Every structure is written in structure tokens, then in C-alpha cells.
Amino acid sequence: MLQAIKQALSTWSPGAPPAAATWFLPELRTVLRAEFAGAYRPAATEAGWSLDFMYGAGANARAFSTNFRSFVARLGPSEQFLGHCNPHLVQAAQRNRVLPLGELAHLNADQPHEPLFRAIGILGHDQLRVLICDGPRQLSWIGATREEPFTQRESALLRRLTKPLQRRLRLEQQLRPGAVPGMFEAALEALRTPAFVIGPGGAIAMANSVGVALLERGRKEVLDSIAESARLGPDAGAFSITRVTALGWPAYLMAIRRAPPELAERVLLVQRRWGLSARQARILELVASGVSNKEIALALCCAEVTVENHLTELFRRSGARSRAGLVGKLITLSIAAP
């Protein structure tokens, strides 16, 4: 049966095939001898959290899904979903890794999950789950529950399905009706400043590498700033807001963080005075915007040590001894320039 599931996950039919989870979960439930098997993807919103989708297989699947959706709808804004991960920036240790309940309890030591487990009827049950991810982004939570503890053999079975599931879910994400087109991903990544695509309900549908790093520092602050920029209009606020509309699409917003109004002009002035290359000038602009070395490396697609080497050269040319001193020199010299 395992081989048949892997083969089915690797097959795509013309037209609009059903989501893999709608037929895969009953098969998974059988293979793992579980009472319930489920799949869902959380989405961050201004108000808290929602679910992009929720599927289940089992005798009480409908009640499980309904109760879980209700529980999630009551969650307030937080950096992590249910205390264990940010679905837009999943920790490397959790990506595509099958985890039993014992390890999950260790990850969630500070989170009171008893009310959740009681609400969905699995209090006292064992769990086995995997976060299917495409890079740092979560495609789906896939898991199963039952009263009897899961065995090492069943963990191994789920591990063998992880790669086929990742390939299938990635394809579904790219081709599903109303999905953010693949061209957005390349377009956002080409930008050298944090950029996001915001979907219906205020959920983050996509972010470039620099945007992901910014989310890690403060998801709520990012969402609040984007929402404020959208209210103020396209020419105000910390983010430049573009509404993306097309026949058959839901409403999307593209949010690109602005540089401070005079920063680009200041950098241009000192670039000429200090004889900076275009790359050095860009790094200076990012430093002045408060971007870390790690985030600069992500934005410029280079190693962090390369950024450090450029900073050393900027310190030498400016006479500064620190990042703060470098920004101070930028401000002082640009104001004094004729």
C-alpha cells in the first residue's frame, strides 16, 4: 500500500485534480493504524490566526475539524502558531521531520495544550506529525492520532512519505486556482528590501528572503505596519502598497518596505565623496535602514563574511569605528554637502 500511495502522489491528471489530502488521509490513517489523520495549514492575520485549509479522515473527522477551526479562530496575535513554530519561517530542525508527541511536548513545554486537546477530543492520545515545508514556508501539517502509542515502524512509514508529499503539495500550491502566481516569487526575491504579498483576510501569502528575516524579528509589527500603510494610501506609510487584481483572482496586496525618504539621496552624495562602488553604497543604505548583516547577506545573495568585509572597507573610508558611527558620518557629511 505504501508504494501505491507514493505512486499516486507522483501522478498529476489534467484538469483540476482534488487536493491530495482529500484522498491521501484515509490511506495514511490505514497505513498508520490511526483513529484520525489530518492535514491543515495555518495563516497569520491581523486579528490572530486562521486556517487556509483543514482536512481529516476518521469516524469523528467533521467534528474534529470544526472544533479545531473554532479553537484557532479564538487565538490572538502571536509570533508562533500554537507556540511551536512560525509557519512563514519554520525552524530548520522542524522542517519535514517526523515527530512523536514526546518530542512535541518538549518543544511546547510553555504552552497549555490541554484545552486544545480536550476541545478536539484527543486528550490522552498519542500523536505523530510532520511539517511539510518548502524551504522555510510550511505547506501543511500532516499527522495522525490514536490512543495506543505509535511505534518506530510507523514513524519510519511516515518518513518515507515525506518527500513525495512535499513534491505534491508544492505543485498544488503553485497550480491551485487563485494561488499567487509563481512569477511573484521571482519578482519579490529580486527586490533588495523586505517585500510581501498579502492575501485575503490579511494573511501573508509570500515573502522574499529579507522579508522572512523581518518577520522573524516581529511578525505582528510587520502586519501592523502594512495595514497602516494600506490605510494611509499608496504614497504614505512605511510600505509601498500595490493592489494586484486579475480576473478570477482573490484580492492581493503587494507591500514593499520603503527606504527613509532622504536616505537614497544621502547615500548618493557620500558615494561620490568616498568613492564607493554600487555594492558598497547599497550596503551603506541597508545599514542606515537598520538591517542586520545577516539580512543584508540575504538581500544581496552573498555570504555574511562578504558583508563584513565591505563594512570594514566602509569604516576605513569613512573613518568610523562602528555601525552607529558610520550612520552618523553619513548624516553629517550629507547635510554638510553643498
With cut-offs at 50, 70 and 90, classify the pLDDT of residue 146.
Answer: very high
Cβ contact 32:154 at 8 Å: yes
Q: Which CATH architecture has domain 263-336?
A: Orthogonal Bundle (1.10)
**Cα–Cα distance for residue pair 89/222, rounded to 1 Å:** 14
Give residue-wise pLDDT tens across range 228-277.
888 877 666 778 888 876 555 566 788 888 766 567 778 888 888 899 88
Which of the two residues, 305 and 4, has the higher pLDDT score? Answer: 305
Q: Which residues contact 31 (CB under 8 A, 6 or more apart)?
A: 1, 2, 5, 154, 157
Residue 262 CA, distance from chain mean position: 31
pLDDT of 84 reads: 72
3-state secondary structure (DSSP) of residue 60: coil
Which of the two residues, 218 and 235, has the higher pLDDT score? Answer: 218
3-state secondary structure (DSSP) of residue 53: strand
| Whether residue 338 has pLDDT greater than 60 | no
Cell of 155: 514513524
- Long-range CB contact pairs, 27-30, < 8 A, 24+: 27/1, 28/57, 28/142, 28/144, 28/158, 28/161, 29/57, 29/58, 29/144, 30/1
Give residue-wise pLDDT tens across range 322-333.
888 888 888 777
The reply to whether domains 2-175 and 182-257 share a CATH topology is yes
pLDDT of 179 reads: 57
**Cα–Cα distance for residue pair 253/21, rounded to 1 Å:** 28
Assigned CATH class of 182-257: alpha beta
pTM of the full predicted structure? 0.62
Dihedrals phi, psi of 185, to nearest 5 degrees:
-60, -45
Which one-letter DSSP state was computed for residue 56?
E
Across the chain, mean pLDDT equals: 80
The DSSP H or E segment spanning 161 is: helix 152-175
Give residue-wise pLDDT tens across range 122-143.
878 888 999 999 877 889 999 9
Report the CATH number of the 2-175 domain: 3.30.450.40
pLDDT of 227 reads: 84
Which of the two residues, 183 and 117, has the higher pLDDT score? Answer: 117
Encoded amino acid at 290, one letter: G
Q: Give residue limits of the domains in the chain.
A: 2-175, 182-257, 263-336
pLDDT of 157 reads: 92
Cβ contact 300:283 at 8 Å: yes
Cell of 234: 499608496
Cell of 97: 521531520
